[in-house]
Amino acid sequence: MLFLRSVLFTLWFAAVTLAMGVIALPLLVGPRKLAAAFSGLWARIVLWGLKLFAGIDMRVTGPVPKGPFLVASKHMSTWDTLAIYLVLGDPAIVLKRSLLLIPFFGWFVGKTAAIPIDRAAGASALRFMAKAAEQVLAQGRPVVIFPEGTRQKPGAPPAYKPGVAGLYGQLGVACVPVAHNSGAHWQGFWKRPGTITLAFLEPIPPGLKRAAFMPILEERIESATRALLG
């Protein structure tokens, strides 16, 4: 049954992405807001299929931030990007530049929500990321970053990168930590039934030094993640 559920959702994901992507291709040369509205609809339909075929539901806890905030989230699966984009409405997401090359998914993310970074660029990547994030915040939109930079398996030792502290320090806004248990249900191809909880945690006020900010961020995200994973 688990294999069948996983296959059905994989087919659903591929079919929906291809069909909607082809239909909406003209939006890539139109206003960003139209493409963003389409991307939100796509994410909603994908997650609806996840519940229907794989038996994976979601719930949101904690106050959902609205406006110009920095949101720092645990990263375990593709679900994270879809759910956070949908719940926050119209955020910008810091991600690897290479992801923009993925047909349809990457094209629309690049059009609507991406702050692409080249990890090999060093300090210049941070400057570009901060400048792009400032423009997003000026529009009243939140910026999402995955502090570990890549997906981690449930229970893996945390591997937080300094980029989140650099961004937090330059932007001068509160940082909202986010924890979830998506890795217990979305494990690559395998989809295990259950409910994924997306938890918005107590915001970290602006103005902290890196040495104070990083331990607070890691402790809040990791302790909440452990509790959700059980």
Give the residue-averaged pLDDT of 80-87. Answer: 95
The dihedral formed by the CA atoms of 220, 127, 76 and 97, expressed in degrees to the nearest 10: 170
Angle at 153 between CA 11 and CA 228, to 5 degrees: 95
Q: Which CATH class is domain 2-229?
A: alpha beta
Q: What is the pLDDT of residues 22-40, one digit of tens each?
A: 999 999 999 999 999 999 9
Answer for the pair 45, 90: CB distance below 8 angstroms, yes or no.
no
Output DSSP code: residue 199: E
- Residue 116 in this model has a pLDDT that exceeds 70: yes
Token pair for residue 134? Answer: 């400032």
User: Is residue 119 pLDDT above 80, yes or no?
Assistant: no
Average pLDDT, the chain: 94
Q: Is 74 exposed, middle or buried (0-12, 13-18, 19+ CB in 10 A)?
A: buried
Confidence of residue 122 (pLDDT cuts 50, 70, 90): low
Parallel, antiparallel, or unpaired for β 190-191 and 186-187?
antiparallel
Cα dihedral angle (30, 34, 39, 41), rounded to 10 degrees?
-140
- Residues 173, 137 contacting (CB under 8 angstroms): yes
Which has more pLDDT, 8 or 98?
8
pLDDT digits (tens, 9 = 90+) for 123-165: 677 788 889 999 999 999 999 999 998 899 999 999 999 999 9
Residue 81 confidence (pLDDT) above 80:
yes
pLDDT tens, 44-59?
Answer: 999 999 999 999 999 9
